[in-house]
Each structure stands twice: as structure tokens, then as C-alpha cells.
């Protein structure tokens, strides 16, 4: 509906412009002098010829009166033609002043003001076109602002959301605004995110079940294998000849081989993490502020100013790290969040602390392990992979991730390396 209004307004003003231009070019610009006024000038001059010093102009025309010798005896204003040659060049009207029907007393040169009239018409036309163009520009600017708010900005949000989805972040919802053109589209996108998150959760639960099954089978298999190995060791010790002893030793070696295979099976899934690629590059520290603001989608933290320097990081993976940290704070603490930023020993330090009281001290070393969560995670969904993956990403970016209890709650410290190519900037960063 708004697009239709804009098009109608634009076409309307365009038609007005065309009409104004056509009127200007088609209109007859020959401005003939008023014959009645000209005749009145002639009659008044002839009437006052003997007393021209008392003569007064009774019309709106400008003119000059010459005697028969060409001398000026009256003029309405300065700058008029004062001889016949100049009057002919300017296309002024030249009339005789007759004392009688045969005798010419002088000349009247009536000023030709058609150029001034045409100039005034041009100015009026130009002013009208300028006003119409100004209105058109205002309409276009207003429509651009509308497009920016209704199309461009929502599309940029969708782009960033799609990058997060591609990076595997399914926890942050997409804000919907039904007033813009992408309202229904963003709703569909967020439904997709929710379904993907549900599928990811089901996959994590399936993986957990698989791990439990592998652990159970490992325990069940290791027990009889251990019994077989123990019996074989006794048999080897009591063997009466070398052949029998070698057979028992073969059984012992195979039992050890089976035990090793079972252990490898249990730890094999840890290698899956290495399939996640991390490609750190030089990024400006000001981009970190946008990353933190994107992660804090509930606006529970005040993001401080960040020093102007270069960091060595993968922007997408760094976004995932802080998404995991803030999401954990939302989920387990559900409090305000304190963010501190400073530099120390070649790193830009970002400390994120909630007010949830923290976790038990003995649980801190386990939080960065795979499938490990604190005791406060009961009845909360999650697979225990967030800090484990974040720690992996930060290490791949030559940084560090530290989890500790702060003064108010759990404190996660992310140490981001400065760029190796601009190490001199470390000293230049402000305090």
C-alpha cells in the first residue's frame, strides 16, 4: 500500500513538471504593448508639449520625449533609449509628436519591456520547478528511510542470524517485527531455528545415550575379559611345558588388545571436535563490541569501551564463544551480568561475571570437559558442550579461557591474543 502511494505521488509531481515545462515553451512570449496606453501617452505629450516640464506620466509605460533636434526634454526614468538608433536596436516603439496634421514637433520613444516580462516568467517557472523538485526529493528521502527501516535493516539482521545458524548457534532468538516486509519471513526463520535447536537437543540426547551404552558395554565386556586374563595368567604360571605357556600368553595378549580397543571406542568421539575449523585472522577490536552486544540479546550487561588495537581471532567462532558464555549465564544464573575489559601480558581480557553465586569449587575444573555440567544444571536443558567447545575455539585462536568463581558468581575470562603483526600496538592501547 505504501509503495503504491509513493508511486502515485511521484507520477503526479512528474506530470505537473511536464505541464509546467510545456506551458512555458508553448506559451506565446510576444508581449505586445497596450495600444490604449500607447495612445494615451501620445495624446498627453501632445497636450503638454508647450509645458513639458510639468508633464506627468499617466500610464504604466516608460518613455522618452525628444524635440525635433533630438534633445531629451522628458523621460520617465534613467537607462532608457535617448536616440532613435539605440531605440531601433532595443526594438522600442518610436512615434511622432504632431503639432498639427503636417508638422512633427518631436519623437516619443516608448521602452520595450518584453525582455523583463519574459525574465520574470522564467523566474516564476524556475521557482515552481524548484519547489516541485524539492517536494520530490523529500518524498524520495522519506521513501528511502522507509525502505531502510522496513527492508534493509531487517535484511541485515536476517543475514547475521543466518551466519549464526550456519555457525551452529541456535540459542539466540530472532526478534520479529510484523510491521516490516520481513515480518512473516523472520517468524519462519525463527521457527526454523527452534526446530533445529529441538533436533540438535534430540541429537545430543542420542549421543549421550550412545555414550552411556558404550560405557555400559565397556564395563560389561571388561569384566569377563579381566577374568579371562586373570585365569590365563594363573594357567601360564602353572603350565608344565613351553607350548602350553605360550598359548596362555597368547590369550593374555589378546585380552589386552580387546581392552585397548574398548578404551579407544570410549574415547573416539572426542576426536569429532577436531572437525570444527577455526580460521583466525586480524580483526579490529571495535568489532568485539558488536560481538558482545549480539551475544547479550537480553541486554543484561553494560558493554564498556574497548581499546583500539588489532586482535587475532576468528570472528564467527569468537561470536560462538560469547554466545555460549552469555547463554549459560541466562540459563543458570538469570541475573544481571558484569563485563570487564582490560589488557594483560599480550592478551585483551574480557571477563564476564554473573550474580548467581557461582558453583562448588571442586566442580570448576570439570566445567570445560565434554558432557560435564555443574550441580546447578539440574532441570536445565543442555548437553554440557558449551564451555568445552569455547575452550577449544579459544585455544585454536592462541588464546585462553579460564573459569572461576568471582566475587558475585561464576566468572568466565576470555583471553584474546593481540595480532602478531602489530605487537607494538600492545603498548599503544589505552588503559
Say if residue 266's pLDDT is above 80. Answer: no
Average pLDDT (236-263) is 83
Say if residue 356's pLDDT is above 50. Answer: yes
Q: What percent of the chain has pLDDT over 90?
A: 16
Average pLDDT (128-133) is 77
Say if residue 230's pLDDT is above 60. Answer: yes
Say if residue 327's pLDDT is above 50. Answer: yes
What distances in angstroms separate CA 59 from CA 40, 44, 45, 101, one per listed residue? Answer: 8, 10, 12, 25
**What 3-state DSSP class applies to 398?**
coil
- The contacts of residue 158 (CB under 8 Å, 6+ apart) are 174, 182, 185, 186, 189
- The contacts of residue 320 (CB under 8 Å, 6+ apart) are 167, 168, 169, 389, 390, 393
Confidence bin at 425 (pLDDT 50/70/90): very low
Confidence bin at 186 (pLDDT 50/70/90): low
Say if residue 85's pLDDT is above 80. Answer: yes
Say if residue 422's pLDDT is above 50. Answer: no
**What 3-state DSSP class applies to 74?**
strand
The pTM of the full predicted model, rounded to 2 decimals, is 0.44
Element (DSSP H or E) covering residue 2: helix 2-26
Least confidently predicted of 96-110, 302-316, 331-345: 96-110
Confidence bin at 10 (pLDDT 50/70/90): low
pLDDT in tens, 14-31: 777 677 666 666 655 555
Please measure the distance between the N-terminal and C-terminal CA atoms of the chain and give it in whole angstroms. Answer: 54
Q: Report the pLDDT value the prediction gives residue 431, as an integer from 0 to 100.
A: 46
* Count of helix runs (H) and strand runs (E) in the chain: 11, 10
Q: What are phi and psi of 52, to 5 degrees?
A: -65, -20
Q: Report the pLDDT value the prediction gives residue 403, as an integer from 0 to 100.
A: 94
Q: Report the pLDDT value the prediction gives residue 423, as an integer from 0 to 100.
A: 45
The 10 Å Cβ neighbour count of residue 193 is 19
Average pLDDT (153-162) is 68
Least confidently predicted of 67-76, 235-244, 363-372: 363-372
Say if residue 125's pLDDT is above 80. Answer: no
Rank 18-27, 103-112, 156-165 by mean pLDDT and report only the highest: 103-112
Amino acid at each position: 500500500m505504501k509503495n503504491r502511494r509513493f508511486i502515485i505521488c511521484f507520477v503526479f509531481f512528474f506530470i505537473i513538471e511536464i505541464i509546467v515545462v510545456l506551458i512555458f515553451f508553448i506559451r506565446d512570449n510576444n508581449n505586445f504593448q497596450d495600444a490604449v496606453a500607447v495612445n494615451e501617452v501620445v495624446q498627453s505629450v501632445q497636450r503638454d508639449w508647450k509645458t513639458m516640464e510639468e508633464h506627468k506620466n499617466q500610464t504604466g509605460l516608460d518613455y522618452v520625449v525628444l524635440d525635433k533636434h533630438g534633445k531629451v526634454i522628458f523621460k520617465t526614468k534613467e537607462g532608457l533609449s535617448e536616440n532613435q538608433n539605440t531605440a531601433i536596436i532595443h526594438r522600442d516603439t518610436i512615434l511622432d509628436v504632431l503639432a498639427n496634421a503636417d508638422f512633427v514637433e518631436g519623437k516619443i520613444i516608448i521602452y520595450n519591456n518584453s525582455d523583463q516580462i519574459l525574465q520574470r516568467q522564467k523566474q516564476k517557472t524556475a521557482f515552481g520547478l524548484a519547489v516541485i523538485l524539492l517536494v520530490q526529493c523529500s518524498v524520495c528521502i522519506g521513501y528511502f528511510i522507509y525502505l531502510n527501516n522496513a527492508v534493509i535493516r531487517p535484511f541485515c539482521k536476517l543475514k547475521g542470524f543466518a551466519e549464526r545458524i550456519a555457525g551452529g548457534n541456535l540459542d539466540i532468538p530472532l526478534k520479529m517485527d510484523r510491521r516490516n516486509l520481513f515480518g512473516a519471513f523472520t517468524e519462519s526463520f525463527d521457527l526454523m531455528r527452534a526446530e533445529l535447536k529441538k533436533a540438535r537437543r534430540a541429537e545430543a540426547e542420542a549421543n549421550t545415550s550412545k555414550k552411556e551404552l558404550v560405557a555400559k558395554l565397556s564395563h560389561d565386556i571388561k569384566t569377563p575379559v579381566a577374568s579371562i586374563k586373570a585365569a590365563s595368567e594363573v594357567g601360564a604360571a602353572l603350565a608344565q611345558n613351553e607350548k602350553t605357556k605360550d598359548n596362555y600368553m597368547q590369550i593374555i595378549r589378546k585380552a589386552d588388545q580387546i581392552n585397548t580397543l574398548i578404551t579407544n571406542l570410549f574415547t573416539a568421539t572426542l576426536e569429532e571436535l577436531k572437525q570444527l575449523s577455526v580460521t583466525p585472522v586480524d580483526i579490529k577490536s571495535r568489532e568485539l563490541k558488536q560481538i558482545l552486544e549480539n551475544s547479550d540479546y537480553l541486554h543484561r550487561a553494560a558493554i564498556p569501551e574497548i581499546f583500539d588495537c588489532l586482535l587475532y581471532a576468528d570472528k564467527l567462532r569468537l561470536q560462538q564463544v560469547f554466545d555460549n558464555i552469555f547463554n549459560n549465564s541466562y540459563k543458570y544464573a538469570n541475573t544481571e551480568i558484569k563485563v570487564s575489559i582490560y589488557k594483560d601480558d599480550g592478551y585483551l581480557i574480557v571477563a564476564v561475571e554473573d550474580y548467581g553465586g557461582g558453583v562448588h569449587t571442586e566442580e570448576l575444573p570439570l566445567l570445560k570437559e565434554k558432557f560435564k555440567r555443574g550441580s546447578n544444571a539440574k532441570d536445565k536443558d543442555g548437553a554440557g558442550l558449551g564451555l568445552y567447545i569455547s575452550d577449544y575455539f579459544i585455544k585454536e585462536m592462541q588464546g585462553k579461557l579460564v573459569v572461576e568463581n568471582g566475587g558475585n558468581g561464576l566468572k568466565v575470562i576470555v583471553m584474546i591474543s593481540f595480532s602478531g603483526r602489530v605487537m607494538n600496538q600492545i603498548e599503544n592501547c589505552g588503559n
